[in-house]
Amino acid sequence: MNRFIAFTLLLVTANILLILLSLLFVGRLPIGLSDWITWSWKARLVFEVRLPRILYASLAGAALGVTGSVMQSIFRNPLASPDILGVSSGSAFGASLGILFYTSAIYVEGLSFLMGLISLMATISLSRIFRYGDEVLRLILSGIAISALFNAGVGYVKYVADPYSKLPQITFWLLGSFGGVGFSEFYLFSPLILSSILILSLLSWRINVLSFGDEIARSLGINPRFNRFLSIIFSVLSVSSIVCVTGVIGWLGLITPHLVRPIVGADNRKVIISSALLGSILSIISDDISRSLIEAEIPFNIIVSFISIPLFILILRGGVKSER
């Protein structure tokens, strides 16, 4: 327990430091300590541009880490990520439609969020029609089907989109970026994301139990359908909130729990908190790089992969014994 507390404190401190340093010093606009102290126009401008973005990146990374752990436990599948139920594909489709037909960002974000939720409803409805396998398998299968459906939709939108104006916008959106985050997005979506993280943390013990299957869950007094449903709802709500603004960035959700489990173990109470903290760190670092390295924005997923894969190899190679 001591080891876990130390680890958590380390991550929390790292988070706070990162946020502060990123806000003050990381970005394309060169700005120094003197600017900050005198609160020059540069400082004010940078503050308003960077702050919501960094905070949102932190929240999003945390939420992705949490929902990744939750999905992997509920679906008993180490490859599960928040996308597994088709949410990301639905959101991508909604956003593509928004970009194609409208100019304002409100439509893009709104349609994206809406389609994300619709795709979840479609997945759940479809799973009820299936007669094959248990509920978990049905959900996975219908998630695959609905994802394929909406991915095809995105493909079609890309096909008809004007290759010089709309198509690059769609392509860039799909690669993911925190560029579109302003204060309005932050205030609008962060309550939902934050509460989802907290609620899923409260459910973490039950999610432990769910990972053994419905039969064992019942024998231990947990109603599997109800708890699974709750977990999925809050996971999808937070993921939709993120994806509608940033584009498809599910990879972080898949990999963060795997980075965390060799260190803290499999108990979701620890995994969820640690994934939230580590996810936030990875997200902030990746976003810092993606908006500062070159004059243009580098898509988020690319940076996350570059950072997380060496980390992945490092952690899984050893140094942390399998027995705890």
Partner 1 sequence: MKGKHVIEVRNLNFSYFKDRLVLCDVNFFVDEGEVVTFLGPNASGKTTLLKIIAKAITGFSGYIEVLGRSLKDFNYRDYSKIVAYVPQEEIVALPFNVYEYLLLGRTPHINLIFVDRKDYLIVENVINLLGIENLRNRLVPELSGGEKQLVKIGRALAQEPRIMLLDEPTSHLDLGNKVRILKLMREMANKNLAIIFTTHDPNEALMISDRVYLLNEGRIVANGIPDEVLSEKLIKEVYKVDVTYMKSSNATAILPVIKGFQS
Partner 2 sequence: MGERSLYVSIIVILVICFLVIGFIGFFWYPTGFKLVVSKTITVTDSLNRIVSFEALPTRIVVASDTGGVTIIETLYMFKSAVNKVVAMDSWGIANNPLINILDPSLNSKVLFQKTPTVEEILKLQPDLVITRSYMASSLGKQLESAGVKLIYLDLETPEAFFKSVHLLGEILGEVDRAVEIVNYMKSIVYGVSSKVSGIQNKLRVLFVWYTVKALRVPASGFIQNLLIELAGGISLSSNVSGIGFPKVSPEQIVAWNPDIIFVTTYSDNPTPSSAVKSILGDYKLSMVKAVREGKVYPVPGLVITWDAPGTRWPLFIAYMASIMYPDVFGDVNAVKNLAVSYYMKIYGISRVIAESLIESEFRF
Which positions lie near partner 2, rule CB under 8 A? 27-30, 41, 44-46, 48-49, 98-100, 102-105, 107-108, 160-166, 168-169, 172-173, 179-180, 182-184, 187, 190-192, 194-195, 198-199, 202-203, 291-292, 295-297
From the list partner 1, partner 2, none, partner contacted by residue 322 (C-beta under 5 to 8 A by kind): partner 1
Nearer to partner 1, 124 or 222 (CB): 222
Q: Count the residues in the chain.
A: 324
Taking CA atoms, 202 is separated from 46, 96, 257, in Å, by 36, 35, 17
Using an 8 Å Cβ cutoff, are 67 and 238 in contact? yes
Closer residue to partner 2 (CB): 137 or 175: 175
Alpha-carbon gap, residue 8 to 92, rounded angstroms: 34
Instruction: Determine if 322 is a binding residue for partner 1 (CB under 8 A).
Output: yes
Distance CA 218, CA 233 (A): 21
Residue 20 Cβ vs partner 1, minimum distance, rounded to whole Å: 30
Q: Which of 236, 272, 291, 262 is nearest to 57 (CA)?
A: 291
Binding status of residue 198 toward partner 1 by CB under 8 A: no
CA 75 to chain CA centroid, Å, is 17
Q: Which amino acid is at 139?
A: L
Examine residue 256 and tell whether it contacts partner 1 (CB under 8 A). Answer: no
Choosing from 15, 67, 73, 238, the residue that interacts with partner 1 (CB under 8 A) is 73
Q: Phi/psi of residue 267, each to 5°?
A: -65, 120
In the bound complex, what is the minimum distance in angstroms from residue 67's beta carbon to partner 1? 16
Q: End-to-end alpha-carbon separation of the chain, Å?
A: 11
| Binding partner at 110 among partner 2, partner 1, none, C-beta below 5 to 8 Å by kind | none
Tell which one of 211, 230, 233, 315 touches partner 1 (CB under 8 A): 211
Are 48 and 35 a contacting pair, CB within 8 Å?
no
Query: Which residue, 258 or 291, has its beta carbon nearer to partner 2?
Result: 291
Q: Compute the CA torsion angle 144, 242, 301, 102 (nearest 10 deg).
A: 90
Q: How many CB atoms lie within 10 A of CB 147?
A: 21
Query: Residue written as tokens 């419905």?
Result: 214
Using CB under 8 A as the binding criterion, the count of chain residues that bind partner 1 stands at 32
| Of positions 3, 28, 44, 324, contacts partner 1 by CB under 8 A | 324
Rule CB under 8 A: say whether 134 interacts with partner 1. Answer: no
Q: Which residues bind partner 1 (CB under 8 A)?
A: 72-73, 76-77, 201-206, 208-209, 211-213, 215-216, 218-223, 261, 265-269, 322-324
